[in-house]
Amino acid sequence: MRLFIEGIRIALTALATHKLRTFLTLLGNIVGIMAVIVVIQILIVQYGGGLFSTVPLTAAQWVFIILSTAPVLLIWPLVTWSEKYVRTAGKPAFLTR
């Protein structure tokens, strides 16, 4: 158990030390997850009509859906960034670290 806690401490120290690398890794993971979700959505909607009872969408509909839903995945990183770097008065105690 002590080795596990020591490993967690070392990992958190490395994350805190290399902020840019941590941010770029997080950004890469977010973009990768978004890409997988988009590909699976396209496959299900365009080619899974019989199995999932869907109707293929037009290109304009796909663009609208992607542009309106992709920013949702960026909300959490922006919230956590703003909690850490943007200090505001009257912030609840659990948000201050």
Q: pTM above 0.75?
A: no
The yes-or-no verdict on residue 45 having pLDDT over 70 is yes
Domains of the chain, residue spans: 2-95
Q: Which backbone phi and psi does 89 adopt, to 5 degrees? A: -70, 145
pLDDT digits over 50-80, tens only?
888 888 889 999 889 888 887 877 777 777 7
Residue with structure tokens 């993971």? 29
Percent of the chain with pLDDT over 90: 18
Q: What pLDDT band is residue 19 in, cutting at 50, 70 and 90?
A: confident
Residue with structure tokens 């158990």? 1
Token readout for 7 is 């490993």
Q: What is the pLDDT of residue 1?
A: 85
Q: How far is it, in rounded angstroms, from Cα 29 to Cα 27?
A: 5
